[in-house]
Structure 1
Amino acid sequence: MIGRVTQQGLQRASLNQLQTNLSELARLQERLTTGKVITKPSDDPAGTVDAMRLRSDQRTTAQHARNVADGDSWLTTVDSALGDALTQLRKARDLTVQGASTGSQGPSSRSALAGELRATADGLLEVANTTYLNRSVFAGTSTEAAYAVTDAGTVTYSGRPGAEVLRQVSDTTKVRVDSPGSEVFGVDVVDADGELVRDPATGEPVGMSVFTLLREVAAKVEAGDPDVGRFLTEIDSRMSAFLGEVGSVGTRHKQVLQAKDALETREIALTNQLSSVEDADLAKTIVDLQLQEVGYQAALGATSRVLQPSLLDFLR
């Protein structure tokens, strides 16, 4: 049985098709205006999930990049401080060698050498308290200065041994960005009164920081001790500790810089992936829009034939 087609049915069908064409035309115009294929989840649910995952990866990568930048600055500060410390310790070694030649020096010369050694010790103490963003780079996670001089003249260490300052530079990698001051500069071994603990047989401190070591050398030089050269072994040991830490910092700094390069590459890759999911092909969109405009104009022409004017329209 053939269904009856009425004028009203033709009008309704034509208007529905016209509305469909107009909606598609609006969608293409919006895509061309925004440059995006996905403007709301219903446009492409699967693509929306991919875009959300990629944006989450971008946020994580951006955080890692900030960590890398901060770690780079920390390690640069540590490396510079260790370089200064090595320069000053080499100077102190040269002064100690001069001080060992007591036979050719008078009291004034020895006093001048002792003054330079004490000044070098003070300079090293200042280096040991180097900070980055008001955080000591040699005190671990402590917020206080790494070293402080007590009333007794000894040096106390306020850092927390083993409490490392770490920066997450990737999903699986953390890098230490501080330096263990207690291992590099050493700490004074003191008794309950804050005095240096000394060997009863020799009178020498059983353990001391590099600052106290240089002050001990200065005191012996000033007193004309003929055996000042015995301190060279201890100074060389401290210098070896500095050199070892410089190597460790260099290795960690290289790791941070490699992570920086990897993150820059990943940022570009994620941006390209997100663009492939969200961004519209503008050339194709322009062609589709032009075709849709032609179709819409044709639909308007067809609709004008279906919606014929009535007698009342003529009378108006």
Structure 2
Amino acid sequence: MRITQGMMVNNQVSRLQTRLERFERAQSQLGTGKAILKPSEDPAAANRGLVLRASMRAREQEARNGADARSWLDLADSKLQGAVERLHRARDLTVAGASIKDPVSQRALATEIAAIRAELVGIANSQHAGRPLFTGFTEGVAVERAPVGDPDAGTWKYRGDAGAITRRVSEHDVVQVNLTATDIFGVDEAGSGGDLFTLLDTIETALREGRQEVMTGKLAEVDAALERIGDQQGKLGAATNRVDATMSRNRDEQLAIRSELAVTEDVDVSGAVMELQTQEVAYQATLAALSRVLQPSLVDFLR
């Protein structure tokens, strides 16, 4: 077979192109930190990477849901703790009112009871990020006194609903993050009167009228209201523990996914450096060989 100068040049150019592609690939691997630059290089690994990234996105969303759930639960617990403190003060005032006979002192106690009631109404109407905290799905206030003109004017009414606000904190775990004012204070839509606000109304009126026997009889109801709020705090605590446990698992899962992604996609840096050096040497050698093929001129052939 006759070997021509053109054939030699073409062969060397082809080899040079191959070396250049390998050199460029080694540079890209080291520059990007990725072992797989195109899915076609390793379809199985590329597909596994897609699956792992989808799983990571799901875990990250669940982590955000968990953080949001925790903010709802923490705020609700803080509000309930404030309600407990104010209600304990109301109990102390009721006990004092049952033994004090001075009308001026009783009226002073009644004024403080009214202030506590107003604070508790404020707690019931708390918001989280611009959204009512204790109304379920309903917007607006949770609790208000029925206005004049309402058939039940003067009674306390719940203006929300029983909607359960939930957050998905893992693939199989959905946590309710809210309570309603009905759960906490016993107030209902009908304004039936068996609620904490009506109880404080009664105590305030009894203090202003000096009816000590009423105050004595209402102490048990105050204790029942405290117990009711304590039960709701227990629910919040249980939900918070679930969220915390799930978030701990979520962090472990994210770490495991990142580790597997690194094994699947990331390049071995030391190996990549060696590969780059190898391909650079091979490229330079091929380039040198091509330059030798191109050296002869027409004068050389005429000698």
Structure-1-length-normalised TM-score: 0.86
Q: Which residue of 1 aligns with 2:243?
A: 256
Residue equivalent to 2:117: 121
Structure 1 residue 129: deviation in Å? 1.1
Work out the number of aligned pairs and report it: 295
Task: Report the counterpart of residue 213 of structure 1 in structure 2.
Answer: 199
Corresponding residue number in structure 1 for 2:157: 156
Cα distance, 1:245 vs structure 2 = 0.9
Could you tell me whether the CA contact under 8 Å between 2:157 and 2:189 is conserved in 1? no
CA-CA distance at 1:70 after TM superposition: 0.9
Measured after TM superposition, the shift of residue 68 of structure 1 is 1.0
Contact 1:88-1:120 within 8 A present in 2 as well: yes
Aligned twin of 1:134: 130
Please list, as runs of the form range in 1=range in 2, the aligned pairs for 1:183-222 lying within 5 A after superposition: 183-187=183-187, 190=190, 207-222=193-208
Ranges in structure 2 where 5+ consecutive residues have no aligned partner? 148-152
TM-score by length of 2: 0.89
1:176 aligns with 2:176: yes
Q: Structure 1 stretches of 5 or more lacking a match?
A: 191-195, 198-206
**1:215-294 correspondence runs (5 A):** 215-228=201-214, 229-294=216-281
Partner of 2:57: 59
Shift of 1:10: 3.8
Q: How far apart are residue 90 of structure 1 and its match?
A: 0.9
Which residue, 12, 19, 22 being the options, matches 1:21?
19
Cα shift at 1:313: 7.0
Could you tell me whether the CA contact under 8 Å between 1:169 and 1:256 is conserved in 2? Answer: yes
SS, match of residue 167 in structure 1: strand
1:86 paired residue number: 84
Q: Deviations over 1:31-73 (max 9, x none)?
A: 1222222233223222221121122112111211111111111
> Quick check: 2:158–2:182 contact (8 Å CA) kept in 1?
yes
- What is the aligned partner in structure 1 of residue 150 from structure 2? none
Question: Which sits farther off after the overlay, 80-89 or 287-296?
Answer: 287-296
Give the distance between the partners of 2:156 and 2:36, measured in 1 at CA: 64
Q: Distance in 2 between matches of 1:182 and 1:109?
A: 33
* Cα shift readout 1:231-252 (whole Å, capped 9, x = no counterpart): 1111111111111111111111
Question: CA separation in 2, counterparts of 1:140 and 1:17?
Answer: 72
Contact 1:188 1:212 in 2 (8 A): no
Percent sequence identity is 37
Shift of 1:297: 2.7
**Is 1:146–2:147 an aligned residue pair?**
no
Assess if the C-alpha contact under 8 Å between 2:136 and 2:178 holds in 1. Answer: yes
Question: In terms of mean alpha carbon deviation, does 177-186 or 38-47 score higher?
Answer: 38-47
Deviates more, 1:301-310 or 1:133-142: 301-310
Q: Is the 8 A contact 2:183 2:232 kept in 1?
A: no
Aligned CA distance change for structure 1 residues 137 and 234 (closer, same or farther; 3 Å): same
Structure 1 segment 6-45 matched on structure 2, within 5 A: 6-7=3-4, 8-45=6-43
SS in 2 for 1:74: helix
Answer yes or no: is the 8 Å Cα contact 1:189–1:208 preserved in 2. no
CA distance in 2, matches of 1:175, 1:167: 5
Task: Pick closer, same or farther for the CA change 1:71–1:98 going to 2, 3 Å.
Answer: same
